[in-house]
Structure 1
Amino acid sequence: MLTTFLGFLLLFFLIGVSSYFFSRKTTSDYLVAGKSVSPALVGLSAIATNNSGFMFIGMIGATYTMGLSSIWLMIGWIFGDFIAQKLAVKQIQRHAQADTVHSFGGLIVHWLVRDSEGKTSMTQVFRLRQLIGVLTLVFLVVYAAAQLKAGTKATQVLLGWSPETGIYLAAMIIFVYSLMGGLRASIWTDVAQSIVMLFGMASLAIFGILSLMSSEQSVWEQLANAAPHYMNWLPSDMTSTAAILFVIGWIFGGMGVIGQPQIVIRFMTLHPERTPGEMQAYYYAWFVTFYSLTVFVGLLSRLLIPVTAGFDAETALPTLATELMPKIFAGLILAALFAATMSTVDSLVLSCSAALTRDLTRKPSQSLYFTKFATFTILVVAVLIAISNNQTVFKMVLDAWGLLGSAFGPLIIWLSIGKRVTQNQAILMILSGIAAFVLFSYFDWMAEVYPVAFGMLTGLIVAFLTSAVPSLQKQASN
């Protein structure tokens, strides 16, 4: 098992390092891979970044607990993701081609300035760029810590390692190949990791089915008897109205993809002569297949792992791998989980590096060495948070995703539909979206709805009001 696991990690490492020989040794290439990546690589890299350790650890744990009703997380998430991409990705690709755009913040302020038709300059929106840079740093570092934490759940169960060992190993590998090839290394390793992730989840589903075939009952009948209401399509403790709101909340969760810097930066790298539709064919084919397998494995885990006091549902996947699979396949599962976490962490860290070096000062740094040092610093901070934080992976990821989606999603959607905004309007949209997400999360208002729905709606309402009401629009301009 250890041999298989380390063998795959070595493969990812070598793929990442090999990108060094194809890089142009410039800050631009380090941060955005020359903006000339093929649709297949962009699609598979973006979806591997999207489907992180959250899927292997958080989503399987949620399905183990909730039952079939967790499928609405999948349906809502994918549908919302599709809506957001149809609205925005083509525009993102177009604006990303500017020579000065190398970061998420740079993309937004360039977009805003271009759409102002000369009424606004880059220097006039510096406060907005700084705010985006600071929020990117804060939220993505927490997100990266959650991913590093996800990997340790498996190494603890399968290898008996301490949490710190898994975190240090992942961080070291990510740092070396990111240092060598930047975003290009991240994209290349993401593609290899996406293949391993899909194969690993499919293997676990097959072994799970085979282990249950000896029963006189079908797998579906066994699931129906697993627990009361376990195979209900909607959560049994919700009214019809609450269930509808539950699904709507996850649609907004999926739409939050457009506010995730680590994913948007991948859309920015798409070759200008290729279309978003080509990229999305790879993206959604993988997304639907993998998410379906994840929900199925989560259901099987309830039959194969008895509910006991103190059992951590987020260890369901590594526990299944230990009990069901030959050691070589258990090593594959462990490698797939690590691949999922690494494919997201490297993306998050590089997005933070771009924010730190391009968005916080009036004159963006052109130093490749300083940018690489920023990568090292960000990774160290993420490691320290991962070691000290005791929250579940599910909660940490949803909080980080929700904050990013609430902050930036409404602004990008508003710009995508051709609306103009001033710097102050944009700042107000960002801060109001964050405030709404935090309030609904902290006070647990309408607990059945993922709070990102309120964050994004608040940002869009603020945009509409400040654009539609002349007095408010004048105040925003000032």
Structure 2
Amino acid sequence: MIIASFLVILAIFLVVGLASARVATGERKDYYIAGQTVSPWLTGLSAVATNNSGYLFIGVIGYTYATGLSAVWLMFGWIIGDYLGSLFVHRKLRHATGETGEASFASVMSRWHGEEFAYWRRIAAIVMVVFLGAYAAAQISAGGKALEGVLNLDPRIGAVAVAGMIVAYSIAGGIRASIWTDAVQSLSMLVALSILCVVAFYHEGGLGPAFASMMPLDDGRYMNLWPESGELVGTGAMAIGFFILGWLAAGFSVVGQPHIMVRFMALDDEKNMQRTRAWYYGFFILFYILAAGLGLLSRLYLPELASGDTELALPRMALQLLPDIFVGLILAGIFAATMSTADSVVLSCSAAITHDLTPSRMEHPLLLKAATAGTTLVALILALSGSQSVFSLVILAWSTLAAAFAPLLVLYALDRKTSEPAAIFLMVLGIAIALFWRYGLGWHGGIYEGLPGMAIPFVIGWFLSRPATHEEIKASPVETPAE
């Protein structure tokens, strides 16, 4: 029954994605940004599905299982930081997309002020292919873990299945297929996680008894709001402040994620950005509350995972508490969630290859689709050969992309202009700082490496840049309520 339910629900997702081909034109802008015709509610649901995906339902739940209540700072920081970035970056990016007529994240940034930063664009494309490829591999790996957690199958089978479905509907409908399936996946996962959370609390006797049962875990440390001192850099209030500030920076880092920002680039009208934010953050908050609650509860139901793979917590918990038909829904939802990010990442990689990296742009629909299929294959190979957890792999890719692109994008959103050599310097500097912070200093556990990776290049970039003229800004819009 689990397999039947899983296959039926997964088939629905696939049909929705394939149906998008009926309105696809095959042209470059349609394939990569859906012709900028996506409604606010679809944009919001798609962006939240792409942002969370296997990272939330596999990685964050596993992280909460392992660390306890202190994981709530991840939720708080990620959402608030994300929101702060959306207040002044998203709409400016959507406006610049319309002004430049470009279809890829790097191309829009390279022509933001009417010039052509060709060298910057090609270096940016290489960065995207490398780190978005790792990101896609993490999502494909998450799909394999979901199948392993419920059906005890080789995770490589799930990885291959995720890759196969991505190729099928991404080639058929491009970014529109990804956005349509994202919306269905968001709604299905909200229902599935809500049911599991209610059932789990019910079996523990309600909220009060459940939290009372958690209090003694790890000698009382599990429900400590603050992380263990060994995870922090420094001591006292300053160390805790840096820890929280790090997660705020992690949320703000969304402005440097091409696969998420392309959703806002595809919005039908920049005046609808506020409506989009309402859908986006409404679902974002619900998902994180449910994930945090299930992560904590899973420690009660699955104590044996403490010495194993904590990222199997959600599927194993569903298997223990829910009827088979709902277990199939959870499994299909996790599978679909991993695809919602993996397909977006793959399409962003494809855009980087066909429009930013190659000497001449590929415009033929067959070449666009071939690049998508090839990128998916490489990501699958990485997923099958990798050994890192979904959580750590996503954080690495996330922070590096943020350090590479967020400083320059924020400067642009603040109406600053810089030269191409300076733009290249800021991108390389940000990446170098983030990687050194993680691998050289080893401080990423206490302070998220994207914080110095974004902050230092931004400060330097402010002094290397100048205010853009009115003509260069091209009458960038002021935030006004949607009509």
Fold match by TM threshold 0.5: yes
**Alignment-mate amino acid for residue 428 of structure 1:** F
| Segment of structure 1 superposing worse, 153-162 or 390-399 | 153-162
Counterpart of 1:235 in structure 2: which amino acid? P
Aligned to 2:128: 136
Question: SS of the residue aligned with 1:31?
Answer: helix
- 1:274, CA displacement in angstroms? 3.9
Corresponding residue of 1:61? 62
- For residues 307 and 231 of structure 1, the distance between their equivalents in structure 2, rounded to whole angstroms, comes to 19
Report the alpha carbon displacement of residue 450 of structure 1 after superposing the two structures with TM. 0.8
Give the CA deviation at 1:99: 5.8
Q: Identify the residue that residue 156 of structure 2 maps to in structure 1.
A: 164
Deviation at 1:107? 1.1
Match of 1:225 among 213, 216, 220: 216
Question: Distance in 2 between the 1:447 and 1:256 partners?
Answer: 17
Query: Cα deviation per residue 1:218-251 (whole Å; 9 max; x = unaligned)?
Result: 1121121223221121114253221111100000
Residues 308, 415 of structure 1: CA spacing in aligned structure 2 closer, same or farther, 3 A cutoff? closer
1:375, CA displacement in angstroms?
Answer: 0.3
Aligned twin of 1:303: 300
Could you say which residue in structure 2 is the equivalent of 1:473? none
Q: Deviations over 1:30-76 (max 9, x none)?
A: 11101111000011001100001011111011111111110000000
Whether the 8 Å contact between 1:38 and 1:274 is mirrored in structure 2 is no
Q: Which deviates further from its counterpart, 239-248 or 206-215? A: 206-215
Name the counterpart of 1:98: 99
Q: Trace 1:107-256 onto structure 2 (pairs within 5 A).
A: 107-111=108-112, 113-114=113-114, 121-122=115-116, 125-213=117-205, 218-227=209-218, 228-237=220-229, 239-256=236-253
Q: CA deviation at 1:110?
A: 1.8
- Counterpart position of 1:79: 80
Tell me how far 1:308 sits from its aligned partner.
5.7
Q: Percent identity?
A: 39
Q: What is the CA–CA distance in structure 2 between the aligned matches of 1:393 and 1:434, rounded to whole Å?
A: 21
Q: Gapped runs of 5+ residues in structure 1? A: 115-120, 469-478
Q: Are the counterparts in 2 of residues 224 and 231 from structure 1 also a CA contact under 8 Å?
A: yes
Q: CA contact under 8 A between 1:60 and 1:314: conserved in structure 2?
A: yes
Contact 2:132 2:397 in 1 (8 A): yes
Tell me by how many angstroms 1:272 deviates.
2.2
CA deviation profile, 1:335-388 (whole Å, cap 9, x unmatched): 111111000011001111111100013432211110100001000000000000
Question: Do structure 1's residue 364 and structure 2's residue 355 form an aligned pair?
Answer: no
| Structure 1 counterpart of 2:388, one-letter code | Q
Moved more, 442-451 or 288-297: 442-451
Question: 1:112-170, CA deviations, whole angstroms, 9 ceiling, x for partnerless residues?
Answer: x33xxxxxx32xx1101101111111111110000000111121121122121101111
2:437 aligned to which of 429, 437, 440:
440
Preserved contact between residue 39 and residue 274 of structure 1 (Cα < 8 Å): no
**Distance between the aligned counterparts of 1:100 and 1:256, measured in 2?**
25
Task: Write the deviation string for residues 191-223 of structure 1: whole angstroms up to 9, x where unpaired.
Answer: 0011112112111111211221199x7112112
SS in 2 for 1:370: helix
User: Distance between the aligned counterparts of 1:447 and 1:209, measured in 2?
Assistant: 31
Shift of 1:309: 6.2
**Equivalent pair of 1:105/1:132 in contact (CA under 8 Å):** yes
* Displacement after TM superposition at 1:105 (Å): 0.8
Between the aligned partners of 2:444 and 2:144, the Cα distance in structure 1 is 33
Question: Shift of residue 307 of structure 1?
Answer: 4.2
Can you list the C-alpha shifts for 1:76-106, whole angstroms capped at 9, x where unaligned? 0111101111120110110111363110111
Question: 2:99, 2:118 → 1: CA distance?
Answer: 17
Change in CA separation of 1:273 and 1:132 when aligned onto 2, cut-off 3 Å? closer
Aligned Cα RMSD in Å? 1.5
Contact 2:418 2:464 in 1 (8 A): no
Matched letter for residue 343 of structure 2: D
Is the CA contact (8 Å cut-off) linking 1:149 and 1:167 kept in structure 2? Answer: yes
CA distance in 1, matches of 2:452, 2:176: 35
Q: What residue in structure 1 maps to residue 31 of structure 2?
A: 30
Corresponding residue for 1:471? none
- Match of 2:427, as an amino acid? I
Q: How many pairs align?
A: 458
Residues 1:309 and 1:82: Cα distance change in structure 2 (over 3 Å): closer
Unaligned runs of 5+ in 2: 467-483
Is the contact between residue 196 and residue 339 of structure 1 (CA under 8 Å) also seen in structure 2? no
State the match for 1:118 in structure 2: none
